[in-house]
Amino acid sequence: MKLVDMKMTEKEMKDSGMITETPAKSASKGPRYPWGLSISLDDSTIDKLDIDFDTCNVGKEYTATVVLRVTSKNDNERQDRTHNRSISMQITKMAVEKGKFDAYHKELNKGPGE
């Protein structure tokens, strides 16, 4: 399975209405990832996943494996014939890999025949 970078391009951000024209030197350009792709873990979940809170620093990356259950699916057609589709999913099972992100990331992103 290949990992897909979900970071939005400037065009995607403008098209989605997340940013308007921003001065080139502005430090903040709005959210870099689409709404709904962020998860928050509370104390009991951190403990359940055995995550070391003290070494879990901002910017650190982890590899997670999740099982998702589809909870809703929508396809809305507008008068101008545009469609907006969405799928809501609940994480039902999750594992967080500690300290093996680089090797795992390289393995998942190998191309065919590598």
**pLDDT tens by residue, 100-112:** 555 555 555 555 5
Question: Which residue stretches of 1-114 are H helix?
Answer: 10-15, 43-48, 101-108
The first and second tokens of residue 52, run together, are 């070391």
Task: For residue 51, tell me if it sits in a domain.
Answer: yes
Q: What is the pLDDT of residues 51-83, one digit of tens each?
A: 889 988 888 888 899 999 999 999 999 899 888
Beta bridge partners of 94: 66
85 and 71 in a single domain? The answer is yes
Which amino acid is located at 108 in the chain?
L
Half-sphere exposure of 79 (CA within 13 A, CB side): 0
Give the domain range for residue 6.
Answer: 1-33
pLDDT for the residue 33? 86
Q: Tokens 């990992």 identify what position?
A: 3
Domain assignment present for residue 113? The answer is: no
Q: What is the average per-residue pLDDT within 42-49?
A: 92
Instruction: Quote the number of domains for the chain.
Output: 2
Query: Residue holding tokens 């509370």?
Result: 42
Instruction: Tell me: pLDDT of 28 over 90.
Output: no
